[in-house]
Structure 1
Amino acid sequence: MNSSIQQGQNVVIGKEVALGDNIIIGNNVVIYDGTRIGSNVIIQDNVVIGKQPTRAKASILPETKQLPPTIIGNGVTIGTSAIIYANAEIDNEVFIADLATIRERVTVGERTIIGRGVAIENDCVVGKNCKLETNCYITAYSQIGNFVFVAPCVVTTNDNYMGRGKERFDKFKGVTIKDGGRIGANATILPGKVIYEDGAVAAASVVTKDVKMEELVVGSPAKKIRNVPENQLLINQE
């Protein structure tokens, strides 16, 4: 093992795991087979990396075979009790806080912050320099651009049906938040909705229609009240 690795107690490292230089690993950490971890990475207590997904018997999702290993970039911090599934890719200098969950086939861009208790479900793309704050929920099949802000307790959804029929199974669609989009605390975004570049959603709003570029929407259902001020646009930030 690399001499520049500091390791706590009860650490389990699987077969063919690749570890870079200057890594700190806490207690009770599990790193599954084949995982690739860059240099200058901090992995705190009780973290699980590379976990293969399991499927409930009643799940509507297709059964998956063994997925490729997880890839963790350089300078990443992974907080206590976070879980990162197999086939996730975490870019350089990402910060993942305590109790976060990042599911399979998720990519997270460089310098993004994943807050405490955040859940990013399967098959999502999260861009660079984003902030996903405490306990927000990113539903499966969502696309998040760069410099996106998602406040605490935001809920995104991907299922338009509350029915019990099978006809809904092929209609799942996550949300899309384009570059510079911002969503306030406790807002709910309905399935398939798009928040275009620099669109902003006020706290506690329910988004039932696409939010156009540079619009500020408020309420339930959310409606435009004005444009985002010029000095708040992404292009005008230093």
Structure 2
Amino acid sequence: MYISKSAKLGKDVEYGYNVVIEDNVVIEDEVVIGHNVVVREGTVIKKGSVIGDNTVLGKRPFKAKSSATTEEKELLPLVIGEYVTIGANCVIYRGAVLNNFVFVGDLASIREDVEIGEFTIIGRGVTVENKTSIGRYVKIETEAYITAISTIEDYCFIAPEVTFTNDNFLGRTEERKKFFKGPTLKVGARIGANATILPGIVIGEDALVAAGTVVTKNVPPRKIYVGVPAKELRDVPSEQLLENQSFYKNL
């Protein structure tokens, strides 16, 4: 185990084997850190959080020469809120903020300039790319891909294998860099398994996109869209609307 002398450690912190804690890390009380965890410089882990085996916290991004969305800039330290759970083999970058009670499944990757709201669940193997905002009480299920420059508002649901995209030019021409934009999901929007959402698309409040759908145009609030390309099917049933759910809190 290596713990920097400049690290600030709270009470009743538990450590696994082979843990590395770098300079100026802050770990508050009652944190549990698994085996082979690396906590990079300046990272803050707040009270009661649990970090799974082989996870890396506060990684600095590497920039490929051809990358169009990764910036070379100084990033603020990673902040892990109170009572956050992070699974095994995750990589969470410097410059991210995970608010209280977030849950991150095994093998997830969360990039820089990402903020995730309270009580949100990031499922196993999910990738969240940079410059993305995720609200509170969101659920993103196994192996979903959230592209850079996306916005997901409160209470959204994203099923397994959903793919967000942000480049209508598929990597060709310099002109494309002016138009990079991921999808925006408004409050309560739901996306079915294996759906693909094209760049810049807005999915309206309480809208539902069915499994396997390819969304090429904006989806109005409270509508169900299906097919390739997506077409309107009908209204979302009233009993499924967010306002009629027992768990809903008007935030």
TMscore range, shorter length: over 0.9
**Residues 1:151 and 2:159 aligned together:** yes
Q: Which amino acid aligns with 2:188?
A: G
Instruction: Say which of 200, 218, 239 aligns to 1:192.
Output: 200
Superposition deviation, residue 67 in structure 1: 1.1
Q: Which residue of 1 aligns with 2:16?
A: 8
Give, in whole Å, the separation in 1 of the partners of 2:177 and 2:221.
31
In the alignment, is the contact (CA less than 8 A) between 1:52 and 1:66 conserved in 2? no
Give, in whole Å, the separation in 2 of the partners of 1:172 and 1:8.
42
Tell me the number of residue pairs that the alignment of Structure 1 and Structure 2 aligns.
238
Q: Which residue of 1 aligns with 2:249?
A: none
Instruction: Say which of 209, 213, 216 aligns to 2:224.
Output: 216
Superposition deviation, residue 166 in structure 1: 1.1
1:159-238 matched pairs, under 5 angstroms: 159-162=167-170, 164-238=172-246
Q: Which blocks of at least 5 consecutive residues in structure 2 are unaligned?
A: 1-8, 247-251
Which secondary structure state, in structure 1, belongs to the residue aligned with residue 178 of structure 2?
coil
Q: Which residue of 2 aligns with 1:17?
A: 25
Superposition deviation, residue 14 in structure 1: 1.1
Q: Which amino acid aligns with 2:221?
A: M
What TM-score do you get using the length of structure 2 for normalisation?
0.93
Following TM superposition, the consecutive aligned residue runs of length 4 or more in structure 1 with deviations greater than 3 angstroms are none
Out of 65-74 and 113-122, give the one that drifted further.
Answer: 65-74
Identity percentage over the alignment? 52
Give, in whole Å, the separation in 2 of the partners of 1:130 and 1:69.
24
Q: Which residue of 1 aligns with 2:35?
A: 27
Give, in whole Å, the separation in 1 of the partners of 2:67 and 2:88.
29
Q: Which residue of 2 aligns with 1:117?
A: 125
Q: Which residue of 1 aligns with 2:144?
A: 136
* Root mean square deviation, CA, Å: 1.0
Which secondary structure state, in structure 2, belongs to the residue aligned with residue 98 of structure 1?
coil
Give, in whole Å, the separation in 2 of the partners of 1:206 and 1:63.
30
Q: Which blocks of at least 5 consecutive residues in structure 1 are unaligned?
A: none
**Residues 1:94 and 2:68 aligned together:** no
Superposition deviation, residue 162 in structure 1: 2.7
In the alignment, is the contact (CA less than 8 A) between 2:70 and 2:130 conserved in 1? no
